[in-house]
Chains A and B, each alone.
Chain A
């Protein structure tokens, strides 16, 4: 079995090997080893990109393999970020508050500490009460469980409702988009308990690591993201190969036929939907400490659509395609919007890429959909001479 799994996925070994080389190279060239060829901020960008690759793989499995175009997986990503962000923010604020209260003539009571933390965190939305959902924010372990549990449960309930009533195709896409919109709108409120549109901030400061430099922290997160990506890749490669993978791909190609063959299609779909949501949550929990800030805008429906765009450009139905798409588009996007691309002077008009990048992205997306449905990853088919 082990042999056949590897034999079915020659790309997996390649991927792991490349990822390992890349990770080691970045680590060696970073500021931690003293070489400093790669700046800390770029290490963070690379680490974030790895997390985006992980969520893109999850998206690829749910869409490219199972045929469910979910426009909600970035919401799960965001939920994971919020779950870990709550602990990061609470623990860090607690440290600050304890420091400031240490000089008092008599030691503070637990209620005073909690009030002061509440004031610090929720003062910005005109409140100082801790909402119910922050009940376990002081406990890292519980919040880590939340990273997995909340997206998983949400996906499970939503998926169960949707698949049970046989909502498929574009209807399902719109429904997932509606869910994402509802979540984003909810989080935008000031009384959502998650600081409204201010979001959670200061997440790059890891409590307990105050003495550690950001360079070291960024490398640690980069390594953790790489490990998570590798693990996610192997896990999904294992899922989509073998018997289960065949059923899942069968559902994508002809759902009714698979159902008539006696498979319980809804269970398979629900499993894939929930599992990928959980992985998306984990990716988000790794992403936002590197980004430093999370706000409801990150969850808006457009983000989930971009996720689908990455997967489509990279090539659906192949895990490395998702990785290529996420890396390529997100890095290119930050290069263009960051002003890295040179402006083109047409004589009568200067094309500024910060303005025109989205137009280019949108149109290239149309071109890819029309002419290269296999995406960039399709090019590998010619390399390995396995036209499919």
Chain B
């Protein structure tokens, strides 16, 4: 009985010490050095032990450590959490939560660096995955997505079951799928996960698959058995002979070639009097002479011999170069390759659609910018170089309205008709004062309107300054309509497209269905005859010019919403607008539409072929247009019959 009792006591004592050993402070004390001066590499051991202990104090401690709240008491090296309230600093016991008064200077701060804090953060992730706070769970999932690691798979899968938020659950499952595809234990599980990923177009899934398909370049006499071969590289096609030789040198299968710089250095080092290796120094101004001198030095053994080209070629020919997958299992790489190909073909399709949408929106901008010009140029034969400045004027009208009306939706609703009114007035004034006197002298109209253009541009600079002014779009136009990870189109672009369509309909309606349109068409075809029928050509010309200018003003508001408002914004569009009109065919709304579509799609198409260089795209587009004019001098939609006469 006594023996039994002593056994029980000793067992109890043992249990106590075991529990004692499991206190947080003890774990920390076992790794005191690593806690005190952690580095990214050493901190892992501490974190593993802490996580393995399963103590509830661990999470608050890790958070405190990450946030630099943990201090070490100087006399005994115990760790505490520092709580400062005003001037009073107190230390909190990590296990019991007991508060201790602390003298300043009796402890020192632990200052983990950024890398260590990131490691602590990663260790915390697994606890946060099941945190009641959804924001913390989201942050944890994002943290895993940023740096995927095999250790996160277990906690993530464990947390999936308890997840209550549907959206986050989907995210977790997707992330878990990506982790299984990369780090899964059995090939079957991985292949299944990879197959499940194949419908996903997002960049991170593609990154995961690319990681699975990571290759290294290998070189050898022959391809060894059992290698998961990605590709054999052909010298000449896949890599140049020089690159191939460089790989051989890297793999230490061939002697390093002597570079011209090395030759030069060796020659300089071996100058004896006026000669190097028997060659006069002054004669070393050519590669041949240098090679000769170097070979003589090499013959004496003072420098390494050059590798003859024949030897290089032979060495390259004797070896095979191939890409080997880092993943040894061919079934997995095959599945990943298939999934990636599938994704990439879908991405390509989506990109084509996206490009089409981009082109469509560019075409609508060109259409809006050019349609006013098409009316004045096409219908009246007046070339208005100040058209771009009317666009600018409309945009500045919008900017001024926004200074007075802070509500963006309302200000745009006011700005659109106001811009029309302002530019309509400016257009009518210009027609009355200048253009009226210059009919039948088109080249002089061009120059006079150019004079107005530079005057207006400078005037805008004087009034509004040279810096770009913002024209803020209403909130409901922010953001983009997202179809999938590749196809997205911003609402502003959609709005511009809608505006362009509205104007197309409006102008067609005005020209085809109203009295004004009838008179405009009559004056266009034969001003003299129209005048004798009782139409006042002066009035029609004035109104037509005003209409064209007014539309430019509205286009200015639209363009200002997506680009910045500057005094030079009109000049950016004027040449493109003219080309739109000329390519489309003068004097026809449909022609302008065709011209704008052609130019918009062409420009986007060329940009797609050479995405890094939009300047080159514009250059090539203009060259194409110059050539196009050669074959269809009257544009896509050419007027026929009498109306076509100049």
Q: List residues of A whose CB falls within 8 A of some B CB.
A: 67, 69, 105-111, 158, 161-162, 164-171, 173-175, 177-179, 181-182, 185-186, 188-189, 191, 301-302, 305, 308-309, 312, 355-359, 361-366, 369-370, 373
Complex CA gap A173/B449 in Å reads: 14
Give B116-138 interface residues, CB cut-off 8 Å to A: none
Which of these, A107, A109, A167, A181, contacts B575 with CB under 8 Å?
A: A181
Q: Is the CB of A178 within 8 A of B446?
A: no
Which of these, A170, A357, A362, contacts B453 with CB under 8 Å?
A: A362
Known A69-B443, A110-B285, A363-B455; further 12 A-B contacts with Cβ < 8 A: A105-B268, A107-B282, A158-B626, A165-B629, A185-B619, A301-B575, A309-B451, A358-B454, A361-B455, A365-B448, A365-B454, A369-B447
What residues of B have a CB within 8 angstroms of the CB of A308 in the complex?
Answer: 447
* B625 proximal to A (CB < 8 A): yes
Which partner residue on chain A sits nearest B616 by CB separation? A189
Q: List residues of B whose CB falls within 8 A of some A CB.
A: 260, 264, 267-268, 271, 276, 281-287, 290, 383, 434, 437-438, 442-444, 446-448, 450-459, 461-462, 571, 575, 578-579, 582, 613, 615-616, 618-619, 622-623, 625-627, 629-631, 633, 646
Q: Is the CB of B443 within 8 A of A181?
A: no
What residues of A have a CB within 8 angstroms of the CB of B626 in the complex?
Answer: 158, 161, 175, 178-179, 182
Q: Is the CB of B458 within 8 A of A165?
A: no
Complex CA gap A357/B459 in Å reads: 10
8 cross-chain pairs, A with B, having the tightest CB-CB distances, nearest first: A362-B455, A365-B451, A358-B458, A107-B285, A182-B622, A362-B454, A369-B448, A106-B284
What residues of A have a CB within 8 angstroms of the CB of B287 in the complex?
Answer: 109, 111
Complex CA gap A302/B268 in Å reads: 56
What residues of A have a CB within 8 angstroms of the CB of B437 in the complex?
Answer: 370
- Chain A nearest CB from B92 CB (Å) reads 57
- Chain A nearest CB from B100 CB (Å) reads 62
Which partner residue on chain A sits nearest B618 by CB separation? A185
Which partner residue on chain B sits nearest A183 by CB separation? B619
Q: Is the CB of A189 within 8 A of B455?
A: no
Q: Is the CB of A178 within 8 A of B434?
A: no
What residues of B have a CB within 8 angstroms of the CB of A356 in the complex?
Answer: 458, 462
Q: Is the CB of B462 within 8 A of A359?
A: yes
- Chain B nearest CB from A165 CB (Å) reads 5
Q: Is the CB of B446 within 8 A of A189?
A: no
Task: Point out which of A177, A355, A373 has the most chain B C-beta atoms below 10 A from its C-beta.
Answer: A177
Complex CA gap A356/B290 in Å reads: 65
Which of these, A171, A189, A365, contacts B447 with CB under 8 Å?
A: A365
What residues of B have a CB within 8 angstroms of the CB of A166 in the complex?
Answer: 633
Complex CA gap A185/B621 in Å reads: 11
What residues of A have a CB within 8 angstroms of the CB of B462 in the complex?
Answer: 355-356, 359
Q: Is the CB of A167 within 8 A of B615?
A: no
What residues of A have a CB within 8 angstroms of the CB of B276 in the complex?
Answer: 106
Task: Point out which of A106, A166, A370, A373 has the most chain B C-beta atoms below 10 A from its C-beta.
Answer: A106
What residues of A have a CB within 8 angstroms of the CB of B452 in the complex?
Answer: 362-363, 366
Given contacts A165-B633, A170-B443, contact A359 B579 (CB under 8 A): no
Complex CA gap A178/B621 in Å reads: 10
Q: Is the CB of B451 within 8 A of A362?
A: yes
Complex CA gap A170/B441 in Å reads: 10
Complex CA gap A185/B576 in Å reads: 13
What residues of B have a CB within 8 angstroms of the CB of A312 in the complex?
Answer: 447
- Supply 9 A–B pairs (Cβ within 8 Å), ascending by A: A107-B281, A109-B286, A109-B290, A173-B383, A173-B446, A178-B626, A182-B626, A301-B575, A362-B458
Given contacts A174-B578, A359-B455, A370-B437, contact A182 B623 (CB under 8 A): yes
- Chain B nearest CB from A127 CB (Å) reads 14
What residues of A have a CB within 8 angstroms of the CB of B630 in the complex?
Answer: 161-162, 164-165
Which partner residue on chain B sits nearest A71 by CB separation? B446
Which of these, B268, B456, B575, B582, contacts A171 with CB under 8 Å?
A: B582
What residues of A have a CB within 8 angstroms of the CB of B461 in the complex?
Answer: 355
Complex CA gap A169/B578 in Å reads: 14
What residues of B have a CB within 8 angstroms of the CB of A305 in the complex?
Answer: 447, 450
Q: Is the CB of B446 within 8 A of A358?
A: no
Q: Is the CB of B453 within 8 A of A107?
A: no
Complex CA gap A12/B45 in Å reads: 96
Q: Is the CB of A178 within 8 A of B457?
A: no
- Chain A nearest CB from B449 CB (Å) reads 8
Which partner residue on chain A sits nearest B381 by CB separation? A170
Which of these, B260, B442, B447, B619, contacts A169 with CB under 8 Å?
A: B442
Given contacts A165-B633, A358-B458, contact A365 B450 (CB under 8 A): yes
Task: Point out which of A108, A161, A181, A308 has the most chain B C-beta atoms below 10 A from its C-beta.
Answer: A181
Which of these, B282, B286, B619, contacts A110 with CB under 8 Å?
A: B286
What residues of B have a CB within 8 angstroms of the CB of A364 in the complex?
Answer: 451
Complex CA gap A110/B455 in Å reads: 54
Q: Is the CB of B444 within 8 A of A373?
A: yes
Q: Is the CB of B629 within 8 A of A188?
A: no
Which of these, A108, A109, A174, A189, contacts B615 with CB under 8 Å?
A: A189
Given contacts A106-B267, A170-B383, A177-B575, contact A182 B619 (CB under 8 A): yes
Complex CA gap A369/B446 in Å reads: 10
Q: Is the CB of A174 within 8 A of B622?
A: no
